């Protein structure tokens, strides 16, 4: 076979001058991105790079979830429920990425992790601003959680703003009221800095929706998207807990928490309690 057949010449239109920002690496700021992996173990432990990239990619996916949830909230507020449902469907796919990547970290054995765990100091996922924003945007408001971040810091200010803004469930409840559903005024005008508490009147409304889905289809479909997001979040929480259990057992977390026991308690939290309980009532 002639060597010429294994040669592919460059097409005339291919740009060779990559000095502008609008090339692949410039547009994605890859120089900055690739410079952000900085292991600090000495000598550098091979598996610390895995640990860093695992958590950095998680933060990027959660940043995108925050971006999408903010838009979903805006869409509900302007009564574009179908558009909001589509966005929540995307959020669910992002959550799948977060869930599946635990399998990569699970290749880290306890012996390997113990070789560099000490260099983390007090660093912990508990301190993730993006994770806390996701919880707040979904309705799990807890003002005590922001005390982890220094007063006056950008992270603290961001969380204060999200804490004082309506969650996806808050705007949905107001939308139900605006559409003529029998939502108590006290629920519509509640203190949104506090976590949502189960409401019997709200569940009665949602039971009616589920009993006659064809007559309430946009509401019904949106509810199921909320349930999908809740379930995906809980599966992520569970996988997180099991991954930690697999790697460090029941040791204390680097951030000072009880570790696995602390993570198990999070599995008892729910964002949309009426949507879960109505399944038993139907």
Residue among 155, 158, 161, 152 at smallest CA distance from 193: 161
The answer to the question of residue 180 being in a domain is yes
Name the 3-class secondary structure at 156: helix
The answer to the question of residue 25 being in a domain is no
Indicate if the pLDDT at residue 1 is higher than 60.
no
Residue among 129, 102, 136 at smallest CA distance from 245: 102
pLDDT-based confidence at residue 212 (cuts at 50, 70, 90) = very high
Give the pair of three-digit tokens for residue 54.
């695992």
Q: Which of 43-57, 118-132, 166-180 shows the lowest mean pLDDT across its residues? A: 118-132
Beta strands, E only, the chain:
none
The answer to the question of residue 169 being in a domain is yes
Q: Is the distance from CB of 210 to CB of 220 less than 8 angstroms? A: yes
Name the 3-class secondary structure at 61: helix
Q: Is the distance from CB of 102 to CB of 58 less than 8 angstroms? A: no
The answer to the question of residue 212 being in a domain is yes
Residues 206 and 280: their CA atoms lie apart, in Å, by 13
Residue among 105, 118, 121, 94 at smallest CA distance from 54: 105
Known binding positions for substrate = 51-55, 113, 117, 254
Known binding positions = 51-55, 113, 117, 240, 254
* Segment 61-118, tens digit of pLDDT: 999 999 999 999 999 999 999 999 999 999 999 999 999 999 999 999 999 999 999 9
The predicted pLDDT at position 254 comes to: 85
Q: Which domain holds residue 243?
A: 54-250+257-281
Known binding positions for heme = 240
- pLDDT average, residue stretch 232-236: 97
Indicate if the pLDDT at residue 2 is higher than 60.
no
The predicted pLDDT at position 21 comes to: 63
The CATH number of whichever domain residue 276 belongs to comes to 1.20.58.480
The predicted pLDDT at position 20 comes to: 61
Indicate if the pLDDT at residue 206 is higher than 90.
yes
**Which residues 6+ apart lie within 8 Å of 247 measured at CB?**
105, 106, 108, 109, 110, 113
What is the SS3 string spanning 94-132?
Answer: HHHHHHHCHHHHCCCCHHHHHCCHHHHCCCCHHHCHHHH
Q: How many other C-beta atoms are found inside a 10 Å radius of the C-beta of residue 173?
A: 24
The predicted pLDDT at position 192 comes to: 97
Indicate if the pLDDT at residue 19 is higher than 80.
no
- pLDDT average, residue stretch 110-137: 94
CA dist list (Å): 275 to 205, 222, 282: 11, 11, 11
- What is the percent of the chain with per-residue pLDDT over 70, rounded to a whole number? 95
The answer to the question of residue 36 being in a domain is no
Residues 187 and 39: their CA atoms lie apart, in Å, by 49
Task: Please report how many Cα atoms fall inside a 13 Å half-sphere around the Cα of residue 82, on the Cβ side.
Answer: 2
Residue among 157, 158, 128, 113 at smallest CA distance from 236: 128
The answer to the question of residue 40 being in a domain is no
The predicted pLDDT at position 124 comes to: 87
**Residue that has been written with the tokens 């507020």 in this structure:** 77
- pLDDT average, residue stretch 12-22: 68
**Residue that has been written with the tokens 């765990």 in this structure:** 117
- What is the percent of the chain with per-residue pLDDT over 90, rounded to a whole number? 84
- What pTM does this model have? 0.92
The answer to the question of residue 16 being in a domain is no
Indicate if the pLDDT at residue 277 is higher than 60.
yes
CA dist list (Å): 268 to 17, 43, 140, 271: 56, 41, 12, 10
pLDDT-based confidence at residue 221 (cuts at 50, 70, 90) = very high
Q: How many domains, in total, are found in the chain?
A: 1
The answer to the question of residue 243 being in a domain is yes
């Amino acid at each position: 076979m002639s060597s010429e057949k294994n040669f592919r010449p460059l097409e005339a239109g291919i740009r060779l001058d990559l000095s502008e920002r609008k090339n692949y690496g410039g547009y994605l700021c890859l120089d900055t991105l690739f410079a952000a992996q900085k292991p600090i173990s000495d000598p550098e432990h091979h598996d610390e790079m895995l640990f860093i990239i695992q958590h950095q990619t998680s933060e990027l996916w959660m940043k995108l979830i925050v971006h999408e949830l903010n838009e979903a909230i805006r869409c509900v507020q302007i009564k574009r429920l179908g558009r909001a449902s589509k966005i929540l469907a995307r959020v669910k796919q992002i959550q799948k990425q977060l869930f599946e990547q635990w399998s990569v970290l699970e290749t880290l054995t306890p012996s390997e992790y113990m070789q560099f765990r000490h260099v983390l100091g007090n660093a912990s996922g508990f301190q993730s601003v993006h994770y806390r924003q996701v919880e707040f945007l979904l309705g799990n408001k807890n003002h005590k959680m922001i005390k982890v971040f220094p007063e006056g810091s950008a992270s603290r200010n961001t969380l204060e703003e999200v804490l004082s803004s309506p969650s996806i469930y808050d705007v949905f409840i107001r939308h139900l009221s605006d559409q003529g559903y029998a939502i108590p005024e006290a629920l519509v005008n509640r203190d949104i800095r506090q976590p949502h508490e189960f409401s019997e009147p709200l569940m009665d409304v949602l039971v009616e929706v589920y009993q006659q889905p064809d007559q309430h289809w946009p509401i019904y479909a949106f509810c199921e998207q909320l349930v999908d997001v809740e379930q995906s979040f809980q599966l992520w929480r569970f996988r997180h807990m099991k991954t930690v259990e697999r790697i460090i057992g029941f040791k204390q977390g680097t951030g000072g928490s009880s570790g696995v026991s602390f993570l198990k308690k999070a599995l008892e939290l729910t964002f949309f309690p009426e949507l879960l309980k109505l399944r038993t009532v139907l």
